[in-house]
Amino acid sequence: MAFVVTTAVTVDLLNRGVLERLDLEVSEVVSAWDLRDSPGYWPVWAVTQIGGRGTILIVLAGLVGWLCIRRRTLLPLVRVLTALALLTVVVYAFKYGTGRTAPAYPGSFFHRDGASYPSGHVANAVLMWGVARWLAVEYRLTPAVQRALWWLSVVGPVLTGIAMVSLDFHWVTDAVVGASVGVLLLGVVHALDAVVLSRWGSARAGRPPA
């Protein structure tokens, strides 16, 4: 489903279809709010950081470090690094391949300097909080930690996308496809884990039984 959404939205946008018109209409409304120049800017900006790479990596550094030391396994680190590598390559390939400009960009909608599509913050939130939740469940962390990471993996991307669109940093379809790409990449990491990562002997050594 995520692949279908990503493909369909991308084709529609490149053909200047109905979704582009929807994006323009939403952006027109959001621009009228003028949140960027209002007292509400910083609270909304703070919400965007739920999907910020720095925020997520700080949390993951603590989680992965604790698991690696406590369980004597490098598997959590390998999973996170794999997810980061895939995220960076795929998202930036999309960004520079489509060249879509952000809503505030003056001039053409698709431009060689455009890097708006898809939203890296939303993709990051879906993928990396998803990996964090996966680790918490597999390594049987406390129910409170598992619940917190469940909320971050589900609600975090939604709040991030809404905040980015509200500040006119991204089009609606940037956020939608960012989420779809995040889901796709999470599936890829799971698949790689099943066939490669978990079979790495030294990483598997500290893994608890299923």
| pLDDT confidence of residue 108 | 57
Is 93 inside a domain boundary? yes
pLDDT band per the 50, 70, 90 thresholds, residue 111: confident
The number of distinct structural domains making up the chain is 1
| pLDDT confidence of residue 77 | 94
Burial 166-179 (b: 16+ CB within 10 A, else e): bbbbbbbbbbbbbb
What residues make up the domain containing 64? 2-29+42-204
User: From the CB of residue 92, how many other CB atoms can be counted at a distance below 10 Å?
Assistant: 12
| pLDDT confidence of residue 199 | 75
Per-residue pLDDT reduced to its tens digit, 139-178? 999 999 999 999 999 999 999 999 999 999 999 999 999 9
Is 142 inside a domain boundary? yes
Mean residue pLDDT of the chain comes to 90
Per-residue pLDDT reduced to its tens digit, 9-67? 999 998 988 999 999 999 999 989 989 889 999 999 999 999 999 999 999 999 999 99
Is 34 inside a domain boundary? no
| pLDDT confidence of residue 115 | 87
Task: Identify the burial level of 5 via C-beta atoms within 10 angstroms of its C-beta, where 0-12 means exposed, 13-18 middle and 19 or more buried.
Answer: middle
Is 107 inside a domain boundary? yes
